Structure formats: C-alpha cells, structure tokens
A and B are shown apart, each in its own frame.
Chain A
C-alpha cells in the first residue's frame, strides 16, 4: 500500500493569488519521480546578493547533499579578463561583508583582481563648516571599494567550485510562482512551483527572492512593500585625479541638491556617486567632459551655500565643544581635485527607498534589495544584503543540521526578526538623513550642523555608526 501511496496522483490546486498566468487548474501533479525537478533551495536573481547566497549555501557543510538552483535571467558573463579601465558601478564593502565573502572563498579572488581599501571617511555639509570624520583607531581598513563586476567574477568562480550542489540556470527568468496550500491537506504538493519563461518548471522546498527592488517574488507572495521614489537620480562616473595621492579616504559632501561622493579606486582614480535632482542629473550627463569635471570640483570646493549666520553659529558650537573635549574636532583634510572623466563612464539611475513589511512567508524568504532599498548616501545598500545572507545562511545551516524542513516558518521568522531589527533603524535613519540634508532652511541646517559636530565629538556614537 505504500507503493500505491507513492504513485498517488493529485491535482495541484491553485492558491488564490491574483496573477495573470493562472487561468485554470494546473495539470495534475505527477508522482515525485516524474514531476518537475525538486530542489531544496531555489534562489531567484543572480546579482551580487543572489549569487552570494547560492555560493554561501553551496559551501556550507550541512548543505553538501542538498540541491540548490540559482535562477538568472541574463546570460552567463565571462569575467576572466578584467578590462584596464574601471567599471562605473562600484560598491563600498564593509569588513563584515568581506568576512562573508571569505567564508565562501570569494574574497581571495576579489583581492587577486582589484579593490581599494580606505581608512577614513570624511563627510561634510555644503551649508556650513560642519564635518564628521570616521576612522578606525587601529590601522585596520574601514572598508573596501570594489567594482561590482569584480565581486561577480569572484562569486561566479566560487559557484563553479560547488557545481555538484549548486546549479546556475542562466537565461532563466521566473515568470510565475505557485504557493502550496497552508496546511498539509490531501494530495497537493507541499512545495513551491516555479514557472520559467521558456515553459520549464521547478519545484522547491524554499524560495529565496533576491530579485531586486522590483522583486517578482515579493509581488507574487503579496507581501506589502512600503516604497517611495526619491526625486533624485544618482550619476556615476569613473574619474581621474589631478595628481596621484594615497587616496585612502572616502569623501562625501552634502549639497542642497543631494550628496556627492568620491570613492577611491586607486591612487589616481576614483568613482563618483552624485545624487541629485533628475534634471540636474540629465544635465550632468549631457554636458561636455570639461564642464562635468568643473561641476564636480566646484561641488566639493565651493562655499557658495554658506551663510554668515550658520558659520558663526557653527564656530561657536565648535569652540564650546573644544572646551569640553579638546580633541573633539578633527583635522579637516582636503579632498583631491578631479582632472578627467573616463569617456563612456557616465551613467544615471533613479533612486528610491523601499522596505517589505515581511521578509518571509511559508517557504519564501526575501533578501537584498527585494527586502529593502536604501539611498546610496550611507554606502550600505549591498552590505545590508550581505548581512541578510549571513543571517539567513546561519539559520538555514542550523535547520539543516536539525533535519528540519528548510521551508518551515519557524527558522525563517528568526531570520526576519533579526534582520528587521537591524535594518529598519538603519533604513529609517538613512531616509531621515537624506531628507534632513535636502534643505537649505536655516533652522534645519543649524540642527544638522550642530548634530554633525556633536556626533563627530562623541566617540560612542561614531563607533556605532
């Protein structure tokens, strides 16, 4: 009779999620032996976060006998040959993220390709002299500026290394998901059904959505997303400095139109991330290279937005602090000036913020931009995603070692609680900072000036940041 059970046919009843693809009842689910291939984990989205998730799980000891699939809509890219010129899409990688990438063996590859460690971050206001400097007391690196392509190259190599358990499906865009019914009733499959654009089907015990801020997984799971489009776009470019320097400082200045940041790539090159209004961004892209370079230098050097009142108030506050805490004001370094921009390296993309109200559901988890989207001003975007991976992989590894069903809500909720606790405050703070620095109104400028100066003087707060 157990053989009869195994051969039992059942109809996969459609869960009532309004989506254009499910017009009628699906074809009957054949027995496990001949149905769509069943995976333990399917990661949807082959960007930095999705690829890292698959690589970390693939290198986990308790997943050594499991089957993982990574779905990537695009084709496989060959990263064997790194071009001499730098790519304009870079990320600031925190030490924690570097640790995660080491755990799956990818960091070594990154180091052997190229990266730029930085020791110091100087952040200051365009409307006042207020400045805050972050640096570690010991000689450790604060973070690393790495091209996104370099990270992808490293992750692709590490995915190849565990090809026996991780199958990367390129040119495989998921177009629909069918969720299992809540309680284990009768003959319906308990797994998530994934439908690909080319008609192929997969089943999985756990679906991880790493498909970006317009996540299809999130939409199909009907998870509410709090989102807001900023009226800003980010302009990126690869710049060449006027003169070679140690270039181990990351610079960011808050202009009324948005923050402009210079991230070191090498002793002579830096990456630009300039968040500004859509119109201004288009202008920057359209102008000739010389004018573009002039705009950048002027943005960093000009004091046009200062007002006497603010300057005086700021100076008073600073002397007050130095009475209380003599070392409380840091030395202001001067940012490098830019000489040239790499042709063809200018690009822009719109900015927004988003946060999913839930990160998990039965058999589904969201990570990276699918779960949360932030303004680049804090340089945290991809680090939040890597933090999600570290947390989720930890819980999944423990669940696998306990023989648990990987899609069970119990450990997925632990992941959600931990990460929401961590992410929400950072995302909210980033949003507040963005709004606070988008104004020239004197009271707010004074507030943030004093705030920044005070924060600069207070070690405990700085360390936490």
Chain B
C-alpha cells in the first residue's frame, strides 16, 4: 500500500517501474501493459471496495475518476441501513443528510435491502417516513423499520406512515421480507402490500401493530402463498389464519412468532385456538417453529395450553403460575426452549420433571425468579442429560436441600451434562 500511495502522490502512476526488477512480482505481471492504480479493471476495484466500509469507500472515491465511478456502481448500493437519531434522544450518530440525498438521487433504483434504525424521537421516525416516500424508483426486496429505543413509529401520524409505506409497497413489486414491528400499519396498507407483492413475500414481522385486524392479516395469508415466516400478536391469531397458512397452495411455514401481551390485568380476554387448527398447521408444515412470548398476569393464563399445542419456544416475561407450567409439561410435546422469568414461591420440581419426561425435544431452559430444590433440579437434568445445550439458571433459584449443597449440585449437574456447568451468578455488592 505504501508503494502504491507514493506512486499516486508522485503522479507517476505506472508503478511496476518503481519496483526493483523481478523482486516480488510474477513475470506475467511485469509483461502486462503498464498498469496504473487508477486503471485497475473495474471489477477488481469493485471487489476491493466490497471489503471496505462506506466511509473508506467514500474516501477512496475522491482519489480518481475510475474509483469514483466504481463507488457509484449499483453492486455497492444494494444494501443500506439508514440510521436516524436526534442528539437529544440518542447517543448514536445519524446517517449524514447529504448521503441520504445522494442515495435518493443516484442509488434509489439500486437499493434492494433497506433498513431504517430510528431512536425514540418522533422526528427520527418521521425522517424515515420521508425517505420512504421518496423511494419511488426502487425494487426493494427487504425492508426493515427498526426502533432502537422506544417505538417511535407509533408517534408518527398514521396517515403519514401509511402513505410512506405504501409508496414502497406499490413501487417495489418484489418485496420478500418486511419487518414493521411496533408501527401504525393498518389493514388497507396490507391490502396494497398483497396486491403488489403477493408472489414474492416470504417474511412478515409485525408484532404489536395495533391497527391491523385479524381480517387484515388473514388477507395476507390467503394471498401470499410463499409466506414462510410470520410474527404477530396473539389477538391477530385465529383458527382461520392457521387454516389459511395450511392450505395446499401455501408453502411450508417455517417460523411463527406470537406475542401475547396484556395491557391491564383482567381487561383483555384471550380467545383459544382450536386443537384442530394447530393440527392442520402441523400436518401442512411438520417442521414449523412456533415461538410464543408471554407478558401476562398470572390469572390470565387460563386459555393457554389446555390442549396439545405445537409450540417450540416459550418465553414467560412475567410471573407464570405453577398450574400453567404443569400444563406445559402435559401439552407441549414439541417444546425446544423454555424460559421462565418468574414464578411464585413454591418449588417447581414436579413441573420441571414432568417437562423433562414429556418434552423430548427440550434443549434449552432458563429460569429467573423461581424456586427449584437442588434434588429436583438434578433429577430434571439427569432426565434430559446432554441434550440440554443451554441451561441458564439464576443462582438464587436453586434451594440447597439434604441431598445437595451448591458445590455438590454443580458437579452433579456437570456430570449429567457432560460438561462444566454453573448457575448464573449476579454480583453481591
């Protein structure tokens, strides 16, 4: 590099002549016509540029016309992440406005994988919408709207957001992946999405979009037969939706993520999904992963897992009752991962042992504010054995008993797992 730079600086760009003859260069190189850094074939510069960050590319682009041309080649502008932050609400920097303008002017038609990361301010979310509404000559395949702090898209006026989003939906007719969690997207905009991209849509993530109704998402499932991954809130999940996703025309569903959130205790009524609907889904897509995140009050769990449910990953963000965990052992035979953040003060031994017995695919478990006796825990681990690849148990969860103290527990569990294991520790300070 040093040699190269000096060659450029001296404006004597034919660098082989600057070399002591035959020292490090292959003869073929020396035989080729005089080469200048600026005359390197485009595809080589391009390849080099692909290994550089945008900032480095921008710097390099001011070296010569050739490099500048390469800088603007479409290949380098397929992917872009707009970062929109305000100094008042974020520690992170924003994408420079000039760069944004340049992209809109020169590279909009090259963009294929676009994401927007916005901080918690409404201004940032609005700026993202403004950019979106200018992306008219595009063939975007992947679009992500990501709130890095609070969900600021919800603060944008719905009309503004929806019109910006539909610009992309209408103009890019080959969208395949869309992540629009925590946004005010609504049924009509989903209809536009379906009308323009039904053949290509594979992934749709729209957790916590309060303006979408079960009918709105059903329309997507009915029309987009290539949909393989879907994330939504429980109130959008219906028997009809599962059946639509299981129709013959539909590809196999790979991931289904469901967030179950309650606003206030007792105020939300949760419906149940029929066992036959789950079975239909499983018949159609035997390998589907069903991920459920629960943020409920203890008394709201009654409608769940009363019948066999093909859930694979379960996360309980708030306290969950013993009864519920007991039902999981009975009715969740496909369970792979179970995370329980909190539970009452009664030891969960029985429930865990039942889960170990019935959930033959369980490989990961995490326990927060729960209680399990050391003997119960050892029994659980013994039954699961080495298949437990993730075992994250807070230290306080484990209650020493007559059989095991903490030291003995850790060596006993390590023995059954076949690897060193310790409970998760928190600083005592």
Are these two chains actual partners, yes or no? no
